[in-house]
Amino acid sequence: MGDVKIPGKIRYGWREVIYIEVPAGKDFDKDIFQSITELHKPFIPRAGSVINKNFVIIPPDGISYSGLSYNEDIEGWRQQIFLGAKQLGLKIGIIVDRKDFVTSHGITYNLKDCTFERYNFYDANWNLVTSRTPVNKEDIL
């Protein structure tokens, strides 16, 4: 698991990663992903795409946040997703200074205090793992 990295911990100018709250009992892929990217009209982004990072951050309060990454029209995608999250009543989180997870409701957590999961990845035997699987934080921090 040494190749696992926390999406968004390192910033790149050509893409951005944010995390979206996943309420208990909801599935990010089935219940939230499409809604949050398409709900707001008119559609804002002029170029690029958004993808699910298949990575989850769980701060000490126990709320799950799933990662999204978008490119090209960074500002347009950011606005589209933030407005979609607002319409759905969902919080957003971002990684700041490679060490903190900051939520849209104003709470900051040190990444060392969070737990992490990933899904839709291939294990060492090339088996597709679709369930949320804990990641050893010592391997990725």
> 1 falls in which pLDDT band (50, 70, 90)?
very low
Is position 3 within any domain?
no
Is position 7 within any domain?
no
Residue 50: strand, helix, or coil: strand
The pTM of the full predicted model, rounded to 2 decimals, is: 0.93
Is position 57 within any domain?
yes
Bridge partners of 115?
Answer: 58
State percent of the chain over pLDDT 70.
Answer: 98
Per-residue pLDDT at 3: 67
* Domains in the chain, number: 1
CA distance linking residue 49 with residue 109, whole number of Å: 29
Structural domain including 45 reads 15-140
User: Is the CB of residue 81 less than 8 Å from the CB of residue 33?
Assistant: no
Is position 9 within any domain?
no
CA distances (Å), 91 to each of 16, 21, 47, 108, 130, in order? 17, 5, 25, 13, 25
Is position 6 within any domain?
no
**Local structure of residue 126 (DSSP, 8 states):** S
User: Is the CB of residue 70 less than 8 Å from the CB of residue 50?
Assistant: yes
